[in-house]
Every structure is written in structure tokens, then in C-alpha cells.
């Protein structure tokens, strides 16, 4: 099976994946996922970047320059009906993360520009949860760190569960043009998880002129990079799909444009 250049295949090692602006060939988004056994720790210097630590599963303790944040994370699976706990850390800080039980964590980063943000715990119980779409386009969203939360400088972080047989990020939409109020420029990563774990899903990334048109097969823990273009996702029958989105760009507004060829299905008269 050939692999799209937009797919970062998962590693079975402690570091599952690592996407940097340099490796992705873009300017803003960084993403790492790590497995930590109970007692393991990881230290991160944020330097000129801001960080959103998302505890995908398990429980961790985080120390930021001497301040301790205990009991971050309550889930055993990303498919549990529980929102994750997270921690926002601005640039210029040192973070030490210690797993108090086996954990999987996501380290989401973007350039830190303003210099006026503070460390903030993001409790899952306070996160906005919503349903989008209907029928086989229904999916379930948790806003971890979106635009209505002013804690971050550039980062936008959200997670989505798409039931088996459903489509997601659909109708296809894009956010690669500086065209406010209708559209903003945001790079994006999709960190995919499947249940059962042996499953797979499909993601297409394409532009209007098809100068970019990639069909991506993703398996458990794979990352898809979206530098530009539309990026719909489909979960096959039998396999529920989770993904964690990290977005960042020159601003912090999430405004997108649907593909005009497929926007018809949003018309209530379409019956879709």
C-alpha cells in the first residue's frame, strides 16, 4: 500500500508521532503524541511556542516552573463519554509531565506571539460538547481550546468522534485563504484513533484546482497533515473514529469555506 506524503505513520515506540513545522513544511502547527507508563515523565521547554497538553487517556501530574497540576485526565479510552483534561502553557516555560497511571498525551504547539498569556488548567467538565450533522453525517465534538476560550495566543484544539459508517469534516471545507469574514488561514493536523484498534479510515485532502489531491488511508494513531485544501473524513462500517485536531495560523479565528460543489446538502430541502 502506498502512503500519502501527508500521512505520518504511527510508531509503536514511546513517541507515537512528532510533527514539527520543519518536518511538515509549514509555519505554525506542531504535534506530538506520547505513551507514558505509570511513573514515566517527560520535560518540555516551550521556548518561543505555546503548548496545549491534552491528556488523551490515563492520568498525569504536570509541573510548570514549580506550580503543580494534579489529577489531569480521567479517561481509559478516547471513546469514553468523558471530555479530556488539558493544560495550556505559554512560551518561555518548563513543563514536566509525570504519569500517575499509564497515559497517552498529546502535545499541541504553535508560535507564541503576544507574551501576555498565563498557565491555565482546562478541566474537561467545563468544555463545550456538541453534536453536528444528521443521519450518516452526525458526529460528536468537544471544544478543548477553541476561539471562544481566550487562554491561547494562536492554538485551536478540538476532538471529534465519528460513528462507524459516518462522514466527518463534511461537507468538505477549507481554511487556507485570508478572506475574512468568510475564511481564515489555518494549518491543521488530524490525529486518528480507531475502535476496534485494527480498523482504518479514509481522508481526502484536495484543492479547487487539484494541485493537491491526496487520498489518505489512516490507521490507529496515524496523523494526517492538512497544509491547505478541503479535508473530509469517512469512517467505514464497523469502526468508530476519533480524531484530535490542532489548528494554528497567523490569527486565531476559525472561519471556513465549504466546497461549493457539495454545499447543496446543507439545504434543508435536500433531505440529506
Report the candidate in 125, 99, 108 with the shortest Cα–Cα distance to residue 32. Answer: 108
125: three-class secondary structure by DSSP: helix
- The pLDDT of residue 272 is 56
- The pLDDT of residue 104 is 98
Question: Is there a contact between 159 and 242 (Cβ–Cβ < 8 Å)?
Answer: yes
Cell output for 264: 447543496
Residue whose C-alpha cell is 498569556: 117
Check residue 41 and report its DSSP letter: E
Q: Is the pLDDT of residue 271 over 70?
A: no
What percentage of the chain exceeds 90 in pLDDT?
96
Q: Is the pLDDT of residue 270 over 80?
A: no
Residue whose C-alpha cell is 489531569: 72
Number of Cβ within 10 Å of residue 87's Cβ equals 22
- The pLDDT of residue 35 is 98
Within the chain, how many helices (H) and strands (E) appear? 1, 23
Look at the alpha carbons of 178, 184, 186, 191 in this order and tell me if their dihedral is positive or negative: negative
**Distance separating alpha carbons of residues 235 and 242, to the nearest angstrom:** 9
Domains, the chain, ordered by start = 9-264 (2.60.120.10)
55: three-class secondary structure by DSSP: strand
**Distance separating alpha carbons of residues 87 and 72, to the nearest angstrom:** 8
- The helix (run of H) or strand (run of E) holding residue 208 is none
- The pLDDT of residue 269 is 66
Q: Is the pLDDT of residue 231 over 80?
A: yes
Amino acid at each position: 500500500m502506498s502512503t500519502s506524503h501527508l500521512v505520518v505513520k504511527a510508531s509503536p515506540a514511546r513517541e507515537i508521532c512528532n510533527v514539527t513545522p520543519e518536518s511538515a513544511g509549514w509555519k505554525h502547527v506542531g504535534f506530538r503524541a506520547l505513551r507514558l507508563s505509570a511513573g514515566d515523565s517527560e520535560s518540555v521547554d516551550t521556548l518561543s511556542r505555546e503548548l496545549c497538553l491534552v491528556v488523551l487517556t490515563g492520568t498525569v501530574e504536570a509541573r510548570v516552573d514549580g506550580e503543580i497540576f494534579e489529577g489531569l485526565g480521567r479517561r481509559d479510552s478516547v471513546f469514553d463519554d468523558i471530555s479530556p483534561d488539558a493544560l495550556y502553557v505559554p512560551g518561555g516555560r518548563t513543563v514536566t509531565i509525570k504519569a500517575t497511571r499509564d497515559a497517552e498525551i498529546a502535545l499541541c504547539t504553535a508560535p507564541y506571539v503576544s507574551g501576555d498569556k498565563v498557565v491555565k488548567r482546562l478541566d474537561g467538565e467545563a468544555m463545550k460538547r456538541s453534536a453536528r450533522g444528521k443521519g450518516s453525517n452526525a458526529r460528536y465534538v468537544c471544544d478543548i481550546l477553541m476561539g471562544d476560550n481566550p487562554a491561547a495566543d494562536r492554538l485551536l484544539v478540538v476532538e471529534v468522534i465519528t460513528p462507524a459508517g459516518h462522514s466527518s469534516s463534511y461537507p468538505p471545507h477549507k481554511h487556507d485563504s485570508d478572506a475574512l469574514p468568510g475564511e481564515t488561514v489555518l494549518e491543521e493536523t488530524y490525529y486518528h484513533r480507531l475502535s476496534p484498534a485494527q480498523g482504518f479510515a479514509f481522508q481526502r485532502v484536495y484543492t479547487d484546482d487539484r494541485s493537491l489531491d491526496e487520498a489518505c488511508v489512516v490507521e490507529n494513531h496515524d496523523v494526517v497533515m492538512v497544509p491547505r485544501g478541503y479535508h473530509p473524513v469517512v469512517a467505514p462500517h464497523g469502526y468508530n473514529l476519533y480524531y484530535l485536531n490542532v489548528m494554528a495560523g497567523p490569527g486565531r479565528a476559525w472561519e471556513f469555506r465549504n466546497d461549493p460543489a457539495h454545499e447543496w446538502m446543507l439545504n434543508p430541502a435536500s433531505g440529506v
